[in-house]
Amino acid sequence: MEKIIEYYGARWKIEAGFKELKRDIGSAETQTRKPHAVINHLNFCMMATSLTWIYACMMEKTPDRRHAIKDRKHFAFPDIRRCIAEVALNDNFNLLCPVPRKSVINSLVTMILRITA
Give me the pLDDT at residue 72, please. Answer: 66
Cα distances (angstroms) measured from residue 70 to each of 61, 73, 82, 115, 116:
20, 8, 21, 69, 70
**What pLDDT, in 10s, does the model give residues 5-17?**
877 777 777 777 7
The pTM (predicted TM-score) of the whole model is 0.56
pLDDT band at 98 (very low <50, low <70, confident <90, very high): low
User: Would you say residue 83 has pLDDT above 80?
Assistant: yes
Q: Report whether 25 contacts 45 (CB < 8 A).
A: yes
User: Would you say residue 117 has pLDDT above 60?
Assistant: no
Cα distances (angstroms) measured from residue 88 to each of 44, 46, 85:
19, 20, 5
Q: Of 96, 84, 94, 90, which Cα lies nearest the Cα of 24?
A: 84
Give me the pLDDT at residue 19, please. Answer: 78
CA-based angle 94:100:103, to the nearest 5? 155
Give me the pLDDT at residue 51, please. Answer: 85
**What pLDDT, in 10s, does the model give residues 20-42?**
777 777 777 778 788 888 888 88
Cα distances (angstroms) measured from residue 50 to each of 3, 23, 45, 66, 68:
27, 15, 9, 21, 24
Which has the minimum average pLDDT: 24-33, 60-69, 89-98, 99-108?
99-108
